[in-house]
Structure 1
Amino acid sequence: MENENDGYGLSAEKTSKQISPPRIDYLPRIPKNYWPKIGLIGTGGISDFHLKNYKAIGLNVVAFADHTAEKAKAMRDKYYPDAQVYEDYRKIFERDDIEVVDITPHPQDRLPVLREALHAKKHVLSQKPFVLDIQEGMELIKLARKNGVKLAINQNGRWAPHFSYMREAIKSGLIGRPVSVDFSLQWDQTWIKGLAGFEKIHHMVLYDFAIHWFDIASSFMEGQQVKDVYASAVRFDEQLYLPPALASCIINYEQAQVRMAFNAHTTLGEEDVTSIVGTKGTLRSRGPGLNKQPMMEIYTETGEVKVPLEGSWFENGFQGTMGELLCAIEENREPGNGAESNLKSLQLCYAALKSADTGKVVSIVT
C-alpha cells in the first residue's frame, strides 16, 4: 500500500523558463557636472584605495593632510603630484576653494576633525565606523544640517557589485519584500596573527569586519521595523590569533529575519554566499572570496536568469561612496550612505556586541 506521505519534505520538481536579465543600475554613479576640489585628511593605508579609485573616475584631490608629512607626500606624489601637503589639517578647512573633505583617521581621533569640518561648512565623507556613540553621531548630523552640508559615511560594501545589485533589485520590487537574508562567510583571516592592531580587538569579526554586513543588511531591509538582535562569538583552541574567529547573529524584524554566520579561520575552501528570499522571488550570489562575486542568480515568478557582474568591491566600493556623496550634493538630496542611515546600521552592530557579551537578546528601540 502506497503511503500518501511518501516524498514528504521533498520539493515538487519545477521547470523554470529562462528570462532576460532585468535592468538594474548597480554600478557606482558619478556627478554630471559637479567636480569640486577635494581635501584628504589622514594618509594611512586605507587612503591608498581611496586615491586609486578617485583617480580612476577623474576626481580632483588638491590637498593632503597628515601629522606625518612624509606619508602625505608619498601619497601625493603617487596619485596627485600637484596637490598641496599640510601637517595641520586645519589648513584644508581654511581654503575656500575646497568644498569636500575625506576624513580617514580612526574613530577616536576623527570625531573632533569631523566637528571642525562641519563648522567650516565642508561636505564630509567620514571613514567607518562613523562614531563610537550614537548620541555623538546624532549631534554631528544636526551640525551638518545647521550648516547646510552633506555628511556621508564610507561604508564601501554597499557598492560591492553583488550587494549593490541586490539593494537596487529590492528597490525595484523585483523580488517583493525581503523576508529572509542569509550571509554565510568562510574566509581566511589568519594573516592578522601577531598584529596588535587586530589581535587587541576582541570582536574582530562582529565589529571590525561585520560592520559592513550590518550596514548592508540595514540597506536591504530599509522600511522594515527591526525588533531585536541575538549574537554570539566563539574562540577555539587551534586558532592562530586571539579574537574569536567564529561568530553569528540573528536580527529579527516584525515580518522578516536576517541571519549571519562567520568563520574567519577558514584556511581551506573559502566561500561567501548571500541569499535573499522575498515574497516574489530570490536573489543569490556566491564566490570564493569577498572582493569579487562573478554572478547574480535571480529567481522570480516569471522565470530565472544568471547575470554576470562587473567590477569588484575594492573598485566599485570606494568609487561608489564618494561618487554618491558628490551626486547628492549636485542633486541637493541626502546621500544614500548618509550619516542618519548609517546610525541605524551602527545600532544593529552595537546591539550585536552587547548580545555577544551578555548572552542575551538585545531589543532595538527606534
Structure 2
Amino acid sequence: MSSESESDYGLSHVPEAASIEAPKLDYLPKVPDGYRPKIGLIGAGGITEYHLRAYQAMGLDVVAICDIDRSRAESRAKEFYPESSVHEDFRDVLRRDDIEVVDITPHPAERVEIVTEALEAGKHVLSQKPFVEDLDVGERLVELAEQKGFILAVNQNGRWAPHFRYLTQAVRAGLVGPVSSIDFSMQWDHTWTAGTPFEEIHHLLLYDFSIHWFDMMTVLLSGQRPERVFASIQRASYQQVKPPFLGQVVVDFPNTQAHLGLNAHVVWGQLDRTTVVGHEGTLRATGPSLNEQSVDFWNEDGQAHLDLQGCWFENGFQGTMAELLSAIEQKREPENSARNVLVGLELCFAAIASADSGEPKRPGEIRRL
C-alpha cells in the first residue's frame, strides 16, 4: 500500500510562488520621431470615433474626412478635426497631392475598390479589418501595393491592446519558453449589435469579432503554420439577436494548440481571459472587459502581477497607425502588413467553413466567404 496521503492522490502539485517583479516590457505604442504626413479618413462610421480620438491624442494631422453620408463626415470633423475638409466622394481625397496616407474604414465589400484606387493614386493605406472576404483578392491587393511601392497595412488593433502586446513581447523575449497552448475565453455582452447591420452577419462572432483572436494566434505563434481548425457555433436558448452567440474553436499548430471559447450573451460576471502556457512559464491576462485587463506571470522564481497602463480602444488604434507611419519612415514592412494578416484570415475562413460543415478544415483551403 502506498505511503502517500490519500488527500494528495491524483491531485496536481501546485508549487509555492514567491512574489517577483513583473518583467519590464515595452508594450505601449510609440509615435514616429519625425514623420507627420497629412492623413485622409475615408468612411466616418461608428468605429471611426476611436480612430480619430487616437490620432488626435498622438498629434497626427488628419486633413480630410469623407463619407457618402456628408453629415457623418461633418460630425466627425467638427468633433475632432474642425480644420479638415469634408467630402462625399473618396476620389476627392485621393486626388489631393498633399495627402500621403489614407485610413479606409468601410465594410470589406465596399473597401476593395477604394483600397485599389488609393494604391493606384500613390497613397499608403491603413485598411479596416477584417481585411477582405476573398483571400485571392487580398493577395492581389498585396501584390499591387508592392508593385506600386506603397505600404498596405491592416487595422488589426488588437495587436496593440496593452494586454495582448505585453503577452506578445513576453513570448518574443522567450520568458515562457516554447509555447504549448493558448486559451482565449470570453464571456461578454454583444447584444448592442441588435438592430444594426452587424446583426445581419450570420457568422458575426467568428468573422467580424473573432478575427482579432485568430490574428493574435498567428502573432503569438509567429513562425508556426496552423494545420487544422475545428469550430462549432450555437444559439443560446434565450437570445433574441439573430447570429449564434455561442462558439468554440480549436486550432492545431505543430506541437501547439490554441482554443477560443465564446459566449456573447453574458450580462453578469463578464470575463475576458487569455492564458499562454510555455515550457518555462505561464502568462495570463484577465479582466471584466477588453479595456480592463491585468497580467500575471509565473515561472520557477515565482509569480508577478502587473496592472497595465492604457486600454485596447485607445492604444490599439494608436498602435496600428503608429506602426504604419514608423514603417514608412524606416522603409520597412509593418508588423500589421496586409501580407502578414492574411494568415489570420485563413484561420477565420477555415473556422467558418468548419462550423458550417461540422468537419475540421485546413487553413488556406477555404479561399472566400
In the superposition, the TM-score normalised over structure 1's length comes to 0.96
Matching residue of 1:66 = 67
Give the superposition deviation at 1:76: 0.9
Matching residue of 2:217 = 217
Residues in 2 aligned to 1:25 and 1:70: alpha-carbon distance in whole angstroms: 40
Matching residue of 1:128 = 129
Give the superposition deviation at 1:158: 1.1
Deviations 1:169-222 (A, max 9, x none): 1111111121100011011122333x1513221112111211111111111111
Matching residue of 1:237 = 237
Is 1:259 paired with 2:267?
no
Matching residue of 1:309 = 308
Matching residue of 1:280 = 280
Residues in 1 aligned to 2:300 and 2:96: alpha-carbon distance in whole angstroms: 56
Deviations 1:307-345 (A, max 9, x none): 110011110111111011111111111111110111000
Give the superposition deviation at 1:365: 4.5
Name the SS for the 1:22 alignment partner: coil
Is 1:298 paired with 2:268?
no
Is 1:42 paired with 2:43?
yes
Give the superposition deviation at 1:85: 1.4
Matching residue of 2:150 = 149
Residues in 1 aligned to 2:128 and 2:71: alpha-carbon distance in whole angstroms: 22
Give the superposition deviation at 1:11: 2.5
Kept after mapping to 1: 8 A contact 2:347/2:364: no
AA partner of residue 38 (structure 2): K
Name the SS for the 2:189 alignment partner: coil
Where in structure 1 are there 5+ consecutive unaligned residues? none
Give the superposition deviation at 1:4: 4.6
Residues in 1 aligned to 2:90 and 2:105: alpha-carbon distance in whole angstroms: 12
Residues in 2 aligned to 1:127 and 1:191: alpha-carbon distance in whole angstroms: 20
Name the SS for the 2:304 alignment partner: strand
AA partner of residue 304 (structure 2): V
Residue pairs, 1:78-227, within 5 angstroms = 78-193=79-194, 195-227=195-227
Name the SS for the 2:24 alignment partner: coil
Question: How many corresponding residue pairs?
Answer: 364
AA partner of residue 310 (structure 2): G
Name the SS for the 2:292 alignment partner: coil
Deviations 1:195-251 (A, max 9, x none): 151322111211121111111111111111311000000113221212111100000
> Cα distance 1:40–1:13, how it changes in 2: closer, same or farther (>3 A)?
closer
Q: Report % sequence identity.
A: 49
Kept after mapping to 1: 8 A contact 2:273/2:285: yes
Give the superposition deviation at 1:263: 0.4
Name the SS for the 1:15 alignment partner: coil
Is 1:12 paired with 2:13?
yes
Matching residue of 1:330 = 329
> Cα distance 1:37–1:268, how it changes in 2: closer, same or farther (>3 A)?
same
Give the superposition deviation at 1:2: 4.3
Residues in 1 aligned to 2:22 and 2:14: alpha-carbon distance in whole angstroms: 23
Residues in 2 aligned to 1:72 and 1:326: alpha-carbon distance in whole angstroms: 24
Name the SS for the 2:215 alignment partner: helix
Name the SS for the 2:12 alignment partner: coil
In the superposition, the TM-score normalised over structure 2's length comes to 0.95
AA partner of residue 101 (structure 2): V
> Cα distance 1:8–1:32, how it changes in 2: closer, same or farther (>3 A)?
same
Kept after mapping to 1: 8 A contact 2:252/2:258: yes
Residues in 1 aligned to 2:217 and 2:307: alpha-carbon distance in whole angstroms: 22
Deviations 1:117-152 (A, max 9, x none): 011111000001101000000000011111111111
AA partner of residue 55 (structure 1): Q
Residues in 1 aligned to 2:307 and 2:196: alpha-carbon distance in whole angstroms: 39
Where in structure 2 are there 5+ consecutive unaligned residues? none
Kept after mapping to 1: 8 A contact 2:228/2:361: yes
Which runs of at least 4 in structure 1 moved beyond 6 Å after TM superposition? none
Kept after mapping to 1: 8 A contact 2:346/2:364: no
Matching residue of 1:320 = 319
Give the superposition deviation at 1:5: 8.0
